[in-house]
């Protein structure tokens, strides 16, 4: 048994899985950058090999239930502590059980992985709605600060939807940006000290939207706790409609962001039709 150390890429993690099957059994997989040597096992840094990673991924597609590979990828994008070991244990179980894996949600390996992947799925669902673009003239710019690393998962949705535009979605916490130039989408490291300053037209649309947001509320049904369940406070600094200070439609002196927020983690309920 050995601890494998990887470069924090998905391919790197799958290369470690490959090594587990074809070289030496893994005791665990850890980011090389953060590894604390263990007394129990030796450790080895694994060089990422995309062909090996592909072989593992293709085997998962062939041998496990349809959604399993995606769940693994989503769990990888989550900020769950020790996610590598959760994924390793799950992959081992998945290959052992094959198509019967779906019936096993109550097993701890499955529960841990699905919890991680569900978190990413939930946040992705939220951000399809929560990304707010500003028109900067030559391109649309959105700053986001998601809990999990969902940037790559936004690419298909927005590049189809805004196919004729140029846009940048900036994950300010991870200093990464997703860029669409009208032809292709790619990720690149990106950082800015100053926030971008939108022009007058852009500010006018933001105000129109803020006004709309206030006037669509039924005052007699005011329910800030329920609102906070769905738009948790930590996301609000990036949401245009919550950026309007001190002018409540109902003579309320509080700005919307000042309400107590509760139940931050209650799942996103999709508005069904």
243 binds another protein (CB under 8 A): no
State the pairing for strand pair 185-189/140-144. unpaired
Per CB under 8 A, the list member of 213, 233, 243, 257 interacting with another protein is 213
Per CB under 8 A, the list member of 106, 183, 188, 246 interacting with another protein is 106
Among 205, 170, 167, smallest CA distance to 191 is for 170
125 binds another protein (CB under 8 A): yes
Per CB under 8 A, the list member of 25, 161, 203, 247 interacting with another protein is 161
Write out 38-88 in H/E/C secondary structure.
Answer: CCCCEEEECCCCHHHHHHHHHHHHHHCCCCHHHHHHHHHHCCCCCHHHHHH
Q: Segment near another protein (CB under 8 A), from 30-38, 79-87, 186-194, 224-232?
A: 224-232
208 binds another protein (CB under 8 A): yes
Strand-by-strand arrangement of the 26-31 sheet: 26-31, 2-6, 42-45
211 binds another protein (CB under 8 A): yes
8 binds another protein (CB under 8 A): no
Binding to another protein in span 46-105, by CB under 8 A: 100, 102-105
Minimum distance of another protein from residue 215's CB (angstroms): 4
Q: Segment near another protein (CB under 8 A), from 22-30, 78-86, 179-187, 210-218?
A: 210-218
115-120 own/partner pairs: CB under 8 Å, 24+ apart: 115/80, 116/74, 116/75, 116/78, 116/80, 116/83, 116/86, 117/70, 117/71, 117/72, 117/74, 117/75, 117/78, 119/78, 119/80, 119/147, 119/148, 120/74, 120/75, 120/77, 120/78, 120/148, 120/150, 120/153
Which is nearer to another protein, 193 or 270 (by Cβ)?
270
Residue 225 CA: distances (Å) to CA of 11, 154, 244, 262, 263: 42, 28, 19, 6, 8
Distance (Å, rounded) from C-alpha 70 to C-alpha 57?
10
Which is nearer to another protein, 61 or 103 (by Cβ)?
103
Q: Segment near another protein (CB under 8 A), from 5-13, 55-63, 178-186, 214-222?
A: 214-222
Which is nearer to another protein, 6 or 127 (by Cβ)?
127
133 binds another protein (CB under 8 A): yes
At a CB cut-off of 8 Å and minimum separation 6, what does 13 contact? Answer: 6, 29, 53, 76, 84, 87
10 binds another protein (CB under 8 A): no
134 binds another protein (CB under 8 A): yes
Minimum distance of another protein from residue 87's CB (angstroms): 20
165 binds another protein (CB under 8 A): yes
Binding site for another protein (CB under 8 A): 100, 102-106, 111, 125, 128-135, 140, 142, 158, 160-165, 204-205, 207-209, 211-227, 229-231, 239-241, 256, 267-273
């Amino acid at each position: 048994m050995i601890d494998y150390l990887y470069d924090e890429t998905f391919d790197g993690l799958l290369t470690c899985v490959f090594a587990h099957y074809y070289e030496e059994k893994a005791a665990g997989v850890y980011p090389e950058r953060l590894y604390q040597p263990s007394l129990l096992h030796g450790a080895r840094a694994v060089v990422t090999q995309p062909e090996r990673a592909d072989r593992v991924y293709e085997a998962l597609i062939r041998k496990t239930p349809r959604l399993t590979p995606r769940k693994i990828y989503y769990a990888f994008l989550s900020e769950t502590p020790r996610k590598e070991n959760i994924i390793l244990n799950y992959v081992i179980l998945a290959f052992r059980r094959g198509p019967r894996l779906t019936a096993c949600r109550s097993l701890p390996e499955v529960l841990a992985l699905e919890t991680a992947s569900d978190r990413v799925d939930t946040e992705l669902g939220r951000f399809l709605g929560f990304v707010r673009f500003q028109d900067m003239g030559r391109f649309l710019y959105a700053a986001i600060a998601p809990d999990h690393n969902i940037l790559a998962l936004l690419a298909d949705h927005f590049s189809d939807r805004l196919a004729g535009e140029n846009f940048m979605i900036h994950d300010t916490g991870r200093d990464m940006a997703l860029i669409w130039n009208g032809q292709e989408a790619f990720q690149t490291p990106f950082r800015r000290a100053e926030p971008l300053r939108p022009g007058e037209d852009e500010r006018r649309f933001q105000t129109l939207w803020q006004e709309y947001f206030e006037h669509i509320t039924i005052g007699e049904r005011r329910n800030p706790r329920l609102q906070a369940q769905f738009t948790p406070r930590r996301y609000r600094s990036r949401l245009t409609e919550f950026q309007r200070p001190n002018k409540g439609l109902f003579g309320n002196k509080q700005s919307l962001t000042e309400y107590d927020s509760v139940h931050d983690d209650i799942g996103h309920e999709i508005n069904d039709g």
